Structure 1
Amino acid sequence: MKNILRIALLFTVLSFSACETFLGDNVNPNNATSATPQLVMPNALVRTASLLRSYNSNAGWIIGYTVNAGGYGGWGSIVTYNYTTGSYATTWESTYDDLINYQYIEDQTAEDPSLAYFNGVAKVMKAYDFHMLVDVFGNVPYTEGLKGSDNVTPAYDSQEAIYQDLVEQLDLAIASFTTADLAQPLGSADVMFGGDVTRWAKFANTLKLRLLMRMSSGSSTSSYAMTKFGSFDTSVGFLTEDAIVNPGYLATAGKQNPYWETYHTNASGSLSGGGRQAIPSDFVYAFYNGTKISDEGRGSATYRAYPTGTPKGVLGNLVDNPAALSNQTAWYVGTGTGANASTSIGLLKGRKAGVPMMLAAESYLLQAEAYMKGYLSGDDMAAFENGVIASFKYLYKGENNQVEAGMDPAGDFELYKEENADNYLVNYSLADTDAKKLEAIITQKYIALNFIHGQEAWAEFRRTGYPAIVEGSNDPNETFASILSSSPRPDELPVRFLYPDTEFQLNPENVPSGINQFSSLIFWQAQ
């Protein structure tokens, strides 16, 4: 855990540095000697937004959102799934780097009722980070994981126990947002909801729903999940608008939207490597171009040169996969190139656009599944349709997080239903079994999360088996597994990442041994 120790000693410098970069605190990061929760929180949220981009990118190669473009080499374990202990070490270390900031906020506010809202935010964001970590690594240091120099060889907690405690922590956070009326406002430190603790409570409640839905699928956690569903306070509400982090991203070096930086261009206008080397898969494209579903509205807002000119291919095809679009990335639908690229609707909205931490579309689709299964009381069809409309709405927003003039999410959803009149994946009323209803819900979640939250789509596929694939098929429209896969599984996919080499070097007594990326399942995965 060398990175945890390092950050425990230096987190104040990092916190002040990022705050100065984005928020103009007028603090010299080279001379920072102390910090406050008010200063650390905006930096931590910005770091989480960047971390989320990393999780999305890593999982996007697995779940079919991105495949290798032609003309580039060195793909290694991305196309074979032959992961090593070095493959995702950065993801591990970056997550704990981020968590130590939230732990600091929680520790500093624990005994101060006036800072209850800051304490609540720290609890929510720790749950956010830790559950992503568990979903790709399984058991991780949790109880002892954020103690810095007090414990540099922390024990590993079981993934089931971590999830359960995260739910309990979210309950405590929700209580602080809804009852701590005399607490100090979050103010400008809140770069996600602008100090609105009601929205923080909804976000926490929606995150809790995400965790419980996963726990309901685990044989050892389903009983706990059912108990928590029985006492679930729906009066708090769920997200109805996208949760967006924006500290004031700027079109300058080191300050622009991290998705734009990775997939479009840097501040000087040079094309990014990520945008040139990646193209969509045939599999995901089939949910737009009519192969599986016709979706002109979202297809045009998602892919450049849709529907006939977007390069698409198969993961692992190193010979004749199409090259990326010249001077552009396949996921940018605006005009202009390089530093002169315009703001746009779609996924890459602009250099100054915020980063979505959770989509309203996911919130509604989580509710739809909970209602359909009888875990909560509600109208699953209405929640399903609201989720799809919310997906249209997000894609139709511009850099300012507002739906662009002339765009009609609800109207285009109606056209979507008409174009797919016989398809239960679009017209929920045609899903005449619970299995079909679940497939429709998760498939629409897969579409809504495309290129945004690949890690969530991968988790939902492992949990439910949707979107449906044909195991062993050579048809690129039927599976997103790499054609160079080394996986012995019937679906030819991996199920997790491997622990980083630093853990085997520095924490050998505690790091689990015998972990395999094809057979060591996360607790909520059936097979």
Structure 2
Amino acid sequence: MKKIQKISIFVFLLLGLAFTSCETTELDLLDDPNDVTLDKANLDRFLNEIQLNFASFMRQIGNNDAQLVRVNYMFGRTYRDNFEPAVLDGEWALAYQGMFSDMAAAEPLAVDAGANKHLGVMKILKAYTLITLVDNFGDVPFSQATNPTEFPAPVADPGASVYAGALAMLDEGMVLISSEGDNLENDFYYDNDFSKWRRLANSVKMLAYLNTGDLASFNSVSGSAIVNSADDFQFQYGSNETNPDTRHPSYSTDYTTSGAGSYESNWLMETMLESNDPRIRYYFYRQFDCTPGAADADGNECGVDTVRMTCSGAPRPNHYTASMTYCSVDSGYWGRDHGNAEGIPPDGLRRTVNGVYPAGGKFDGDEYSPVVVGDGGGGAGILPIMLASYTDFMRAEAALASNNTSGAASALNSALTKSIAKTQGFISLDPSADSTFAPTSGEVSSFISGVVNSFNSGNANDKWEILATQQFIGNFGSGIGAYNLYRRTGYPKLIQFNIDPNPGAFVRSFFYPSNEANVNSNITQKPNVDVQVFWDTNPASPGFPSAN
């Protein structure tokens, strides 16, 4: 794992701007001394802001996606109401008013300076952002975007056209980063190692080809993409608490004097607990040892507490199967069900919180005590964006889709090995961690071989279920890959249902943000969230995906 790099005072201020100002930079506040405007800009300042906005964009989109697929907890019973147009304003602004506008202003400066590597990085980040926008919104502005004089109301280009443009942009970016030019003053991701930027670009191509089912092109770039964890594409947070708060946002939310500010996904915690997943103590820290309606680690019943957990005294919903996660998870894993929209009870000091991976919190060594500000790694975690384990999961899916089951099993083994090793490396962030509770190498090997053996012995349905479930777990910290997988395949089918039996159509694409749809005469708002993106050729909703 990379050490936290020393950064300039200017960048330090930018971090505060990017992560503490209502989820998006306020680019219209022209008097802000940290805002990048044309009259005071220089190329490296633009690149600083672009990189920071990219991290914010990917985190916010990833959190939305993770909620949909049960990697994170989702509040609210209906998908349409949970993700109404105003919810997506910040993400859209980060892309269009933030990154893309800054790139348009920075490009002539880079051309004049012969700063090819700056241009190349911008093109790779823009291509990645465009593909992510299409994956989440469908048709989006591209050809007419960031040209307000000529196109004040840019049209939404077909998703397939945007994909084609983004793929061409990745090729251009790879040529540019291999050309003569100065290094970036601050490369927050790869410290000016442009061979790693090249691997990232090929990894983005992989996900685009996998989404569109172009497995021949996928295989042609797979060997040139991210393979080793040393090439992981991630954003590093700091541990500064205020002025600005540079900590991982999940840490800032959970490690407070009043207790946790969020809930974790019951489905994810129970799935990991039941399979004895070695990553569970790194992902989650338990503040309390007994969840109402469940049993503690010794098998003792915890009893009912309808004040702190209303559902502990309520019957299982009729549409839930007997084996489906409901309300309470054993051994103190205190979270919430998918779509639970109950009020907030006095449980902040009992909820399970984000652990040492990836949020930089505490490693769980059975302390069962409320967390406080500064605990664990102090929030100096990461935002995982494109990891070596992610590309291995993609390779496993591509192999399985091609009926290459041995290749799929090998890639699955590799993905699990890398995911667990990376997760375990984060224990060093927590100086108070009791390493005697860390899984042994034998336990890790046993877990991986158990998953792979089950994969090999299962039928086709079992294989898809196992692969998808493991990718969901491995995507903790971001849900983008899991959300795409779910729409591509419909797996896993055994995830927890929405607590409401009639939650409405699953989000096949998000509404256009209100700030765009309400002012852009060339953007027509979608009638619902069941509009499919161009590569989603599965049956229409309702009915797909089945675990709605």
TM-score under structure 1 length normalisation: 0.75
Q: Which residue is equivalent to 1:5?
A: none
The one-letter code sitting in structure 1 at the alignment partner of 2:264 is I
Query: Does 2:49 match 1:43?
Result: yes
Q: Which residue is equivalent to 1:190?
A: 187
- Residues 305-314 or 155-164, more deviating: 305-314
Q: Which residue is equivalent to 2:199?
A: 202
Picking from 528, 531, 543, the partner of 1:516 is: 528
Superimposed CA distance per residue, residues 6-58 of structure 1 (whole angstroms, 9 cap, x where no aligned partner): xxxxxxxxx9965644599xx95379633233222122222222222222222
Preserved CA contact (<8 Å) 1:61 1:67: yes
Following TM superposition, by how much is the alpha carbon of 1:100 offset from its aligned partner in structure 2, in angstroms?
A: 2.4
Query: Does 2:473 match 1:447?
Result: yes
Superimposed CA distance per residue, residues 69-89 of structure 1 (whole angstroms, 9 cap, x where no aligned partner): xxxxxx557666464332322
Preserved CA contact (<8 Å) 2:79 2:507: no
- Supply the distance in 1 between the matched residues of 2:428 and 2:176 (Cα, whole angstroms): 30
Preserved CA contact (<8 Å) 2:333 2:351: no
Preserved CA contact (<8 Å) 1:428 1:440: yes
Following TM superposition, by how much is the alpha carbon of 1:390 offset from its aligned partner in structure 2, in angstroms?
A: 1.6
Following TM superposition, by how much is the alpha carbon of 1:162 offset from its aligned partner in structure 2, in angstroms?
A: 0.8
- Supply the distance in 1 between the matched residues of 2:345 and 2:492 (Cα, whole angstroms): 25
The one-letter code sitting in structure 1 at the alignment partner of 2:413 is E
- Supply the distance in 2 between the matched residues of 1:161 and 1:174 (Cα, whole angstroms): 20
Aligned to 2:524, the other structure's residue is in SS state coil
Following TM superposition, by how much is the alpha carbon of 1:431 offset from its aligned partner in structure 2, in angstroms?
A: 4.4
Preserved CA contact (<8 Å) 2:86 2:514: yes
Picking from 282, 299, 308, the partner of 2:280 is: 299
Query: 5 Å matches for 1:3-42?
Result: 20-22=13-15, 29=34, 33-42=39-48
Preserved CA contact (<8 Å) 1:80 1:316: no
Aligned to 1:286, the other structure's residue is in SS state helix
Q: Which residue is equivalent to 2:490?
A: 465
| Percentage of matched positions with identical amino acids | 18
Structure 1 residues 64 and 232: alpha-carbon distance in aligned structure 2, compared to 1, 3 A threshold? closer
Structure 1 residues 145 and 326: alpha-carbon distance in aligned structure 2, compared to 1, 3 A threshold? same
Following TM superposition, by how much is the alpha carbon of 1:276 offset from its aligned partner in structure 2, in angstroms?
A: 2.5
Aligned to 1:244, the other structure's residue is in SS state strand
Q: Which residue is equivalent to 1:416?
A: 447
Query: 5 Å matches for 1:357-372?
Result: 357-372=385-400
Aligned to 1:176, the other structure's residue is in SS state helix
Following TM superposition, by how much is the alpha carbon of 1:173 offset from its aligned partner in structure 2, in angstroms?
A: 1.9
- Supply the distance in 2 between the matched residues of 1:41 and 1:239 (Cα, whole angstroms): 26
Preserved CA contact (<8 Å) 1:23 1:248: no
Structure 1 residues 85 and 59: alpha-carbon distance in aligned structure 2, compared to 1, 3 A threshold? same
Q: Which residue is equivalent to 1:315?
A: 338
Following TM superposition, by how much is the alpha carbon of 1:412 offset from its aligned partner in structure 2, in angstroms?
A: 4.1
The one-letter code sitting in structure 1 at the alignment partner of 2:382 is G
Structure 1 residues 516 and 328: alpha-carbon distance in aligned structure 2, compared to 1, 3 A threshold? closer
Aligned to 2:201, the other structure's residue is in SS state helix
- Supply the distance in 1 between the matched residues of 2:394 and 2:268 (Cα, whole angstroms): 21
- Supply the distance in 2 between the matched residues of 1:144 and 1:154 (Cα, whole angstroms): 5
Following TM superposition, by how much is the alpha carbon of 1:446 offset from its aligned partner in structure 2, in angstroms?
A: 0.6
Aligned to 1:494, the other structure's residue is in SS state coil
- Supply the distance in 1 between the matched residues of 2:176 and 2:454 (Cα, whole angstroms): 40
Q: Which structure 2 segments of 5+ residues have no match? A: 1-7, 18-31, 290-329, 356-361, 364-368, 540-548
Q: Which structure 1 segments of 5+ residues have no match? A: 1-14, 69-74, 217-224, 344-349, 470-477
- Supply the distance in 2 between the matched residues of 1:279 and 1:258 (Cα, whole angstroms): 16
Structure 1 residues 252 and 190: alpha-carbon distance in aligned structure 2, compared to 1, 3 A threshold? same
- Supply the distance in 1 between the matched residues of 2:383 and 2:36 (Cα, whole angstroms): 30
Structure 1 residues 432 and 49: alpha-carbon distance in aligned structure 2, compared to 1, 3 A threshold? same
Structure 1 residues 300 and 172: alpha-carbon distance in aligned structure 2, compared to 1, 3 A threshold? same
Preserved CA contact (<8 Å) 1:311 1:325: no
Following TM superposition, by how much is the alpha carbon of 1:341 offset from its aligned partner in structure 2, in angstroms?
A: 1.4
Aligned to 2:234, the other structure's residue is in SS state strand
Q: Which residue is equivalent to 2:110?
A: 109
Q: Which residue is equivalent to 1:456?
A: 481
Aligned to 2:384, the other structure's residue is in SS state strand
- Supply the distance in 2 between the matched residues of 1:318 and 1:22 (Cα, whole angstroms): 33
- Supply the distance in 2 between the matched residues of 1:174 and 1:494 (Cα, whole angstroms): 34
The one-letter code sitting in structure 2 at the alignment partner of 1:284 is L
- Supply the distance in 2 between the matched residues of 1:388 and 1:86 (Cα, whole angstroms): 37
After TM superposition, which residue ranges in structure 1, 4 or more long, deviate above 6 angstroms? 77-80, 320-323, 375-378, 399-406
Preserved CA contact (<8 Å) 2:509 2:529: yes
Following TM superposition, by how much is the alpha carbon of 1:361 offset from its aligned partner in structure 2, in angstroms?
A: 1.3
Picking from 53, 56, 68, the partner of 1:62 is: 68
Picking from 484, 496, 512, the partner of 1:479 is: 496
The one-letter code sitting in structure 2 at the alignment partner of 1:453 is S
Structure 1 residues 103 and 247: alpha-carbon distance in aligned structure 2, compared to 1, 3 A threshold? farther
Q: How many residues align?
A: 459
Q: Which residue is equivalent to 1:500?
A: 513
Superimposed CA distance per residue, residues 202-254 of structure 1 (whole angstroms, 9 cap, x where no aligned partner): 111111101110011xxxxxxxx356347537346545332222375533332
- Supply the distance in 1 between the matched residues of 2:106 and 2:61 (Cα, whole angstroms): 23
The one-letter code sitting in structure 2 at the alignment partner of 1:468 is K
Query: Does 2:414 match 1:429?
Result: no
Following TM superposition, by how much is the alpha carbon of 1:166 offset from its aligned partner in structure 2, in angstroms?
A: 1.2
Preserved CA contact (<8 Å) 1:396 1:409: no
Aligned to 2:169, the other structure's residue is in SS state helix
Superimposed CA distance per residue, residues 127-158 of structure 1 (whole angstroms, 9 cap, x where no aligned partner): 22222221221111011112244422111100
Q: Which residue is equivalent to 1:228?
A: 217
Q: Which residue is equivalent to 1:243?
A: 233
Preserved CA contact (<8 Å) 1:21 1:255: no
Structure 1 residues 414 and 311: alpha-carbon distance in aligned structure 2, compared to 1, 3 A threshold? same
Aligned to 2:244, the other structure's residue is in SS state coil
- Supply the distance in 1 between the matched residues of 2:499 and 2:534 (Cα, whole angstroms): 21
- Supply the distance in 2 between the matched residues of 1:168 and 1:409 (Cα, whole angstroms): 46
Aligned to 1:284, the other structure's residue is in SS state helix
